[in-house]
Structure 1
Amino acid sequence: MAKSALILIDIQNDYFPGGKWELHKIEDSARNAARLLEQARAAGQMIVHVHHEFKAENPPFFAPGTPGADIHTSVAPKDGEHKVLKHYANAFRETNLQALLADHDVSDVTIAGDMSHMCIDAAARNAADIGLNVTVVEDACSSRDLEFNGDVIPAEQVHKAYMSALSFAYATVVSTSDYLAGA
Structure 2
Amino acid sequence: MKRALLVIDVQNEYFSDNFPVEYPPTRVTLPHIGQAIDAARAADIPIVVVQHSAPAGSPIFAKGSSGWELHPEVARRGHDHLVEKTKASSFSGTDLREWLAARGIDTLTIVGYMTHNCDAATTFDAAHAGLSVEILSDASGSLPYANRAGSATAEEIHRVFTVVFQSNFGAVMSTAEWLESVRQGRAPERDNILMSNRRARGVA
TM range, smaller chain: over 0.9
**CA distance in 1: counterparts of 2:79 and 2:149, whole angstroms:** 47
What does residue 29 of structure 1 align with? Answer: 29
Gaps of 5+ in 1: none
* Alignment pair present for 1:166 and 2:162: no
**TM-score, with structure 1 as normaliser:** 0.93
**TM-score, with structure 2 as normaliser:** 0.83
Q: What is the SS of the residue equivalent to 2:117?
A: helix
Q: Which amino acid aligns with 2:129?
A: I
Question: Given that residues 37 and 77 in structure 2 are in contact (C-alpha distance below 8 angstroms), is that contact kept between their aligned partners in structure 1?
Answer: no
CA deviation map 1:39-73 (0-9, x unaligned): 00111111100010113x53221100111111111
CA deviation map 1:23-52 (0-9, x unaligned): 111231111111100100111111100010
**CA distance in 1: counterparts of 2:64 and 2:105, whole angstroms:** 31
Q: What is the SS of the residue equivalent to 1:95?
A: coil
What does residue 122 of structure 2 align with? Answer: 123
Count residues in correspondence.
Answer: 180
Gaps of 5+ in 2: 182-187, 189-204
**CA distance in 2: counterparts of 1:62 and 1:72, whole angstroms:** 12
Runs of 4+ with deviation above 2 angstroms: 77-80, 148-152
Tell me how far 1:148 sits from its aligned partner: 3.6
Q: Which amino acid aligns with 1:178?
A: E
**CA distance in 2: counterparts of 1:77 and 1:47, whole angstroms:** 13
**CA distance in 1: counterparts of 2:103 and 2:76, whole angstroms:** 18
**CA distance in 2: counterparts of 1:155 and 1:125, whole angstroms:** 20
CA deviation map 1:61-98 (0-9, x unaligned): 11001111111111226556210000001110000010
What does residue 49 of structure 2 align with? Answer: 49
Tell me how far 1:150 sits from its aligned partner: 6.7
**CA distance in 2: counterparts of 1:21 and 1:113, whole angstroms:** 15
Q: Which amino acid aligns with 1:109?
A: L
CA deviation map 1:2-27 (0-9, x unaligned): 22100000000010034x31111123
Question: Given that residues 54 and 88 in structure 1 are in contact (C-alpha distance below 8 angstroms), is that contact kept between their aligned partners in structure 2?
Answer: no
Question: Given that residues 62 and 69 in structure 1 are in contact (C-alpha distance below 8 angstroms), is that contact kept between their aligned partners in structure 2?
Answer: yes
Question: Given that residues 3 and 109 in structure 2 are in contact (C-alpha distance below 8 angstroms), is that contact kept between their aligned partners in structure 1?
Answer: yes
**CA distance in 1: counterparts of 2:97 and 2:52, whole angstroms:** 16
Larger mean Cα displacement after TM superposition, 45-54 or 148-157: 148-157
Q: Which amino acid aligns with 1:30?
A: L
Give the percent of matched residue pairs that are identical in Structure 1 and Structure 2. 31
**CA distance in 1: counterparts of 2:78 and 2:111, whole angstroms:** 20
Tell me how far 1:177 sits from its aligned partner: 1.2
Q: What is the SS of the residue equivalent to 1:117?
A: coil
Question: Given that residues 139 and 176 in structure 1 are in contact (C-alpha distance below 8 angstroms), is that contact kept between their aligned partners in structure 2?
Answer: yes
Tell me how far 1:136 sits from its aligned partner: 0.5
Question: Given that residues 48 and 79 in structure 2 are in contact (C-alpha distance below 8 angstroms), is that contact kept between their aligned partners in structure 1?
Answer: no
Q: What is the SS of the residue equivalent to 1:61?
A: coil
Tell me how far 1:119 sits from its aligned partner: 0.2
Q: Residue 74 and residue 125 in structure 1: after superposition, are their counterparts in 2 closer, same or farther (change >3 A)?
A: same
